[in-house]
């Protein structure tokens, strides 16, 4: 029973049945690689500017990213909950965040003025909930997170999944009795974030940044260097100390203030952001607790965000070549792309099909996630081009030619050359990869 969630997921797919088709041409008006490749591969569909649907392939990738994030949040004591997307005016007014530009307000037909905003962040809502459950120092510390759609009025919506008007965010909030406890937790979140980005195949630089509409103090961003990034960071090539250009006094080519290495200016994508909030929200919404001496104090808070779609888009920006995506195994929609190549000889064709079906079943039985290209009408060239575009880590080809050697051809998406592996050893070889 405890495994039912895991095992009920679909671990296999015949490409002839897969919803969504690959496109030959790049979508019009897209500049960013992630926007082009994800749409061409049938991972996402753009409904409106900055508003995307995740198609079955893309949804699998997003769920893998969500799983990594959940594991690392749970590991630092985060408890998952789920809050409303409609946020009432009464929550945002006390903090002065009602009517700000970033919010998309919602108005009923009979209303003169909006009384709700589509949730673009949840500090206020969670602080109001916490008021009901945090009374004493014994209730602290605590940390809660959700994975939910956020809505923001982003006039600059562009670059595919990197900047949406509607996007999935993991937002974690922590509550503490004192600064020291908060700082300890902030460091834990930093480590958890580093693990998440590493597991997702990215190298993110911990960067000092400004607080924006969240806090007056400095915050930290996790920045992935990429030409398409909208942010500019100044980062040391030796020790990786980094500052966001918005707040930095550092200059390109200068000496690093920490290690005497060299500072370089780089474009980067902000994949995560962590904020010390102090008592800004607990004061505005009157969240207090009774400490050990019996005094009433405001709770100290932090908030911590990661954009799941932006992370997926960033992975594509980093892991790609001129033929398509090269998914890291941890987030790939499938582990193996099994390709059966047709042949003119009917007898041989049947044999190839039979071996491909057997290998498909054999891999699934071992828990390998397989996309099986069983499409009869596609040429070898079309199948290979699709495989390169979709970027599944291992390509396995069965054809008349490989069967002559009683073998299959196995090729890693990220590598140039293929190897022939005996049919009898194929399952074992692939489960070991
Ligand atoms: P930015 O500076 O890029 O506009 P932000 O600082 O306003 O982002 P936060 O409120 O810190 O964003 O959100 C936490 C995380 O959510 C970001 O680090 C990013 O990964 C993601 N995110 C923010 N805005 C968007 C967006 N418009 N589209 C996709 N992801 C986003
Ligand atoms: Mg930010």
pLDDT confidence of residue 5: 45
Say how many Å lie between the CA of residue 307 and the centre of ligand 1. Answer: 6
Which is the closest atom of ligand 1 to the Cα of 162?
A: 29
DSSP 423: H
Mean pLDDT of all residues in 262-283: 97
C-alpha distances in Å from residue 324, one per residue of 310, 334, 391: 18, 15, 6
Model pTM score: 0.96
Q: Which of 273, 277, 309, 312 most suits a substitution to test ligand 1, by most atoms within 8 Å of the C-beta?
A: 273
pLDDT confidence of residue 1: 43
Residues 120-131: pLDDT tens digits?
Answer: 999 999 999 999
Residues 37-91: pLDDT tens digits?
Answer: 999 999 999 999 999 999 999 999 999 999 999 999 999 999 999 999 999 999 9
C-alpha distances in Å from residue 78, one per residue of 36, 125, 134, 176: 35, 17, 16, 13
Among 400, 398, 401, smallest CA distance to 423 is for 398
**Would the pLDDT of 316 be above 70?**
yes
Which is the closest atom of ligand 1 to the Cα of 120?
A: 10
Banded model confidence at residue 9, pLDDT cuts 50, 70, 90 = low
Say how many Å lie between the CA of residue 40 and the centre of ligand 1. Answer: 25
Residues within 6 Å of ligand 1 by CB: 121, 152, 154, 163-164, 167, 169, 212, 270-273, 305-307, 309-310
Query: Nearest 5 degrees, angle CA 52-CA 273-CA 303?
Result: 105
Q: What average pLDDT does the chain have?
A: 95
Mean pLDDT of all residues in 312-327: 98
Query: Nearest 5 degrees, angle CA 221-CA 223-CA 224?
Result: 165
């Amino acid at each position: 029973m405890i495994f039912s969630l895991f095992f009920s997921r679909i671990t296999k797919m015949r490409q002839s049945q897969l919803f969504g088709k690959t496109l030959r041409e790049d979508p019009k008006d897209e500049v960013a690689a992630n926007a082009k490749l994800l749409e061409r591969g049938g991972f996402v569909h753009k409904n409106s500017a900055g508003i995307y649907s995740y198609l079955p392939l893309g949804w699998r990738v997003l769920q893998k990213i969500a799983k990594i994030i959940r594991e690392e949040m749970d590991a630092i004591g985060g408890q998952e909950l789920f809050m409303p997307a409609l946020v009432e005016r009464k929550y945002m007014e006390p903090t002065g965040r009602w009517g700000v530009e970033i919010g998309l307000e919602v108005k009923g037909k009979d209303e003169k003025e909006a009384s709700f905003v589509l949730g673009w962040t949840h500090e206020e809502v969670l602080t109001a909930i916490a008021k009901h459950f945090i009374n004493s120092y014994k209730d602290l510390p605590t940390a809660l997170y959700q994975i939910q759609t956020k809505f923001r009025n982003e006039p600059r919506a562009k670059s595919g999944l990197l900047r949406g008007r509607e996007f999935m965010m993991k937002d974690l909030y922590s509550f503490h009795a004192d600064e020291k406890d908060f700082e300890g937790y902030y460091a834990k979140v930093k480590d958890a974030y580093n693990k998440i980005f590493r597991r997702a195949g990215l190298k993110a630089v911990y960067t000092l940044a400004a607080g924006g509409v969240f806090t007056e103090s400095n915050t930290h961003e996790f920045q992935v260097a990429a030409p398409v990034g909208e942010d500019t960071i100044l980062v040391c090539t030796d020790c990786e100390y980094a500052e966001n250009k918005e707040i930095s006094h550092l200059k390109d080519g200068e000496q690093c203030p920490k290690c005497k290495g060299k500072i370089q200016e780089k474009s980067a994508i902000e994949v995560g952001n962590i904020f010390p909030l102090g008592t800004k929200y607990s004061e505005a919404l009157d969240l207090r607790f009774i400490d050990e001496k019996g005094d009433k104090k405001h709770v100290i808070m932090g908030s911590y965000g990661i954009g799941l779609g932006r992370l997926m888009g960033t992975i594509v920006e980093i892991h790609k070549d001129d033929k398509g995506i090269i998914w890291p195994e941890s987030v790939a929609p499938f582990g193996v792309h099994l390709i059966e190549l047709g042949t003119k000889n009917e007898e041989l064709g049947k044999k190839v099909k039979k071996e491909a079906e057997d290998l498909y079943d054999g891999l699934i039985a071992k828990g390998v996630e397989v996309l099986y290209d069983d499409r009869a009408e596609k040429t070898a060239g079309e199948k290979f081009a699709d495989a390169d575009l979709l970027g599944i880590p291992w390509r396995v080809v069965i054809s008349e030619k490989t069967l002559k050697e009683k073998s299959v051809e196995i090729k890693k998406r990220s590598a140039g050359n293929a190897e022939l592996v005996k049919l009898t050893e194929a399952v074992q070889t692939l489960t070991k990869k």
